[in-house]
Chain A
């Protein structure tokens, strides 16, 4: 299998094309511009559509229209642009439309900066827009993993009729690494007999989000919740790294998890038996991994490029059975492995 040296954004775009994505709607924003740029060239080559919308708001509703019409479709943006898309994401979740939304996170709040960040964790995993819904959220920590998760994302979206978000920090988008493109065969996916194709020889189809009758709306929301519970049973992905004999755990995702691996190697040379738990699906979150580890490891350091977001889910998983400490950098600053080594050593030495 041929290896290609690509930056994360371009690799995500190529992976999407190879996964059968044929419609891309977006609006430029740093640090994800290589995705729309790549798509503007690549989509016409495969008979697909690239459209630069007038705004992120318009782009997400073009996704709504294309997904409702049965197209394999995606959009990409970065934090402030994803905020603009939240209205449409809520509508897409409500209408149960499959699609991929890529967020290459930068520092916020507000216009913030253009350096890497993980401060959209809450927005991605806890709703973001209004109403009772969740996205399925995938968080790669290498360019190769970004490719694989992008390819899986479309099948997952179709399987559950739920929007999927690929949540990467700016490093994932900008870093160049060798990658291999290998699409797994898609599982058997549900028929798209509900889509808008013209009412020829059948009753008219309707894609909507309005349910004025609260009885009906409650039933609809419960149906969405059952899908999410099904996802939690089937789709949780998590990496364990040197956790078998660990006396202390670092919990991190994305780029921070890579930094943590270096820190763990240093810690082990210094005699500290550290391990890593890396959530790959941020929703559904691997609560069980933390529940299990808390029965034998009493100290967990959660490291993020934020002021503490995923740490809340780790605490929910641990449920008071281990001590959870947080260390984070924000605004585009990245924790160094030295910082993680120091924080972990401090935690290990502390009497509980």
Chain B
């Protein structure tokens, strides 16, 4: 890259992020979140001892985008795989990156019990209220009334129940040390999200227990919205059901 003399370079690709084009749809929140994770890994200086576990879902190809050792897991089983790795190599920094189907439906038992054990791993949980990869079906976090390909009349509570709030649920567990919900819909929220992701990794580095950051993410394709409308829907509709905030912060980080 050409450096212009006299100008300071203030923005570049994180070293932990590979210089490749991703498969994500335009306007998707995954790319932003990937970048935040990579920035945090770089800033903490842990790239050579970080291990990622990719989910089944839109982020299944995460291993193509991050320059760290990685597993690609079965649907929902990432926390169990991360557990196996962490128990063999306690000095590694192990994180899972999972969507709402992976983390909050098919893998709920693995998610909850990783937190119950206080497993020293970190989860980045992407909640976009829909199943992206399979084409827009209902997620466990789909809002009441939200239309998906399997709730064509909108999610009806009599038939499909209510959206699950994983952050609030996991925060009740003694083994969960750091739990936060963030968004990546605008610059302000992206800055907050990065801070939360950093604190989650710091929680693991200090050996304080399980850490999880729930990221409200936008899916313009399966929500059938423009990217701009999708970010507004996160802020005006999703946040009412999934309020942002740090639900649990270890005293060592305060």
Instruction: Name A's B-contacting residues (CB within 8 A).
Output: 23, 25, 49, 51, 53-55, 57-59, 61-71, 73, 87-88, 91, 196-201, 204-210
B104 CB, nearest partner CB in chain A, Å: 16
User: Which of B68-76, B143-151, B167-175, B233-241 forms contacts with chain A?
Assistant: B68-76
Tell me if B231 counts as interface (CB < 8 A to partner A).
Answer: no
**Which residues on A sit within 8 Å (CB–CB) of B74?**
61, 64, 87-88, 91, 209
**Which residues on A sit within 8 Å (CB–CB) of B37?**
none
Q: Is the CB of B87 within 8 A of A23?
A: yes
Tell me if B89 counts as interface (CB < 8 A to partner A).
Answer: yes
**Which residues on B sit within 8 Å (CB–CB) of A73?**
84, 88
**Which residues on A sit within 8 Å (CB–CB) of B244?**
none
Count: A-B pairs, CB below 8 Å: 132
| Closest residue of B by beta carbon distance from A91 | B74
Residues from 54 to 96 in B contacting A, C-beta threshold 8 Å: 54, 60, 63, 66-74, 77, 80-89, 92
Q: Is the CB of B84 within 8 A of A198?
A: no
Majority DSSP secondary structure for residues of A touching B: mixed
**Which residues on A sit within 8 Å (CB–CB) of B63?**
206, 208
| Contact of A198 with B48 at beta-carbon distance under 8 Å, contacts A54-B109, A58-B110, A61-B77 already known | yes
- 6 A-B contacts (beta carbon < 8 Å): A23-B84, A62-B81, A65-B80, A66-B87, A68-B71, A198-B49
Q: Is the CB of B68 within 8 A of A199?
A: yes
Which of B48, B82, B109 contacts A200 (CB under 8 A)?
Answer: B48
Q: Is the CB of B109 within 8 A of A55?
A: yes
The 8 closest A-B pairs by CB, nearest first: A65-B84, A61-B80, A208-B72, A66-B84, A65-B81, A54-B113, A69-B88, A200-B48
Tell me if B47 counts as interface (CB < 8 A to partner A).
Answer: yes
Tell me if B51 counts as interface (CB < 8 A to partner A).
Answer: yes
Chain B residues within 8 Å of chain A by Cβ, number: 36
Q: Is the CB of A208 within 8 A of B71?
A: yes
Bound-state CA distance A13–B68 (Å) is 35
Which of B53, B72, B80, B87 contacts A209 (CB under 8 A)?
Answer: B72
Tell me if B137 counts as interface (CB < 8 A to partner A).
Answer: no
Q: Is the CB of A207 within 8 A of B48?
A: no
Bound-state CA distance A207–B87 (Å) is 17
Q: Is the CB of A61 within 8 A of B50?
A: no
A92 CB, nearest partner CB in chain B, Å: 10
Bound-state CA distance A49–B84 (Å) is 10
**Which residues on B sit within 8 Å (CB–CB) of A66?**
84-85, 87-88
Q: Is the CB of B80 within 8 A of A62?
A: yes
Q: Is the CB of B84 within 8 A of A204?
A: no
B47 CB, nearest partner CB in chain A, Å: 7
A69 CB, nearest partner CB in chain B, Å: 4
Q: Is the CB of A197 within 8 A of B84?
A: no
Q: Is the CB of B49 within 8 A of A62?
A: no
**Which residues on B sit within 8 Å (CB–CB) of A69?**
84-85, 88-89
A67 CB, nearest partner CB in chain B, Å: 7
A208 CB, nearest partner CB in chain B, Å: 4
B52 CB, nearest partner CB in chain A, Å: 9
Q: Is the CB of A210 within 8 A of B60?
A: yes
